[in-house]
């Protein structure tokens, strides 16, 4: 079982991305209900397209950081109990 600290970062990331998806979907639906389509990702509008892929970077970097935290700071993978590496 994981600790509270181990669930805060991924949970916050999922919450933020989920709120972003809901907000973006609602805005696109209200702009054009007949032409509305569900998207896998939502480009960030404005700024001359410089931040278009921000959502993809946040998800990819967040997943990488979460995996690093799980592997490097996990309580069940410390050096005194690493018997799974010996066999």
The segment with the largest mean pLDDT, out of 4-8, 33-37, 57-61, 82-86, is 33-37
pTM exceeds 0.85 for this model? no
pLDDT exceeds 60 at position 81:
no
Question: What residues contact 39, with CB distance under 8 A and at least 6 apart?
Answer: 24, 25, 28
> Could you state, in order of their start, the residue ranges of all structural domains in the chain?
13-78
Confidence class for position 17, pLDDT limits 50, 70, 90: confident
**pLDDT of res. 67:** 79
The residue ranking higher by pLDDT, 65 or 27, is: 27
């Amino acid at each position: 079982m994981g600790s509270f600290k181990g669930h805060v970062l991924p949970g916050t990331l999922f919450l933020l991305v989920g709120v972003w998806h809901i907000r973006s979907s609602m805005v696109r639906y209200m702009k054009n209900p007949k032409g509305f389509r569900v998207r896998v990702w939502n480009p960030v509008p404005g700024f001359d397209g410089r931040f278009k892929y921000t959502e993809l970077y946040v998800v990819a970097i967040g997943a990488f950081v979460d995996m690093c935290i799980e592997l490097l700071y996990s309580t069940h993978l410390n050096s005194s109990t690493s018997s799974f590496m010996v066999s």
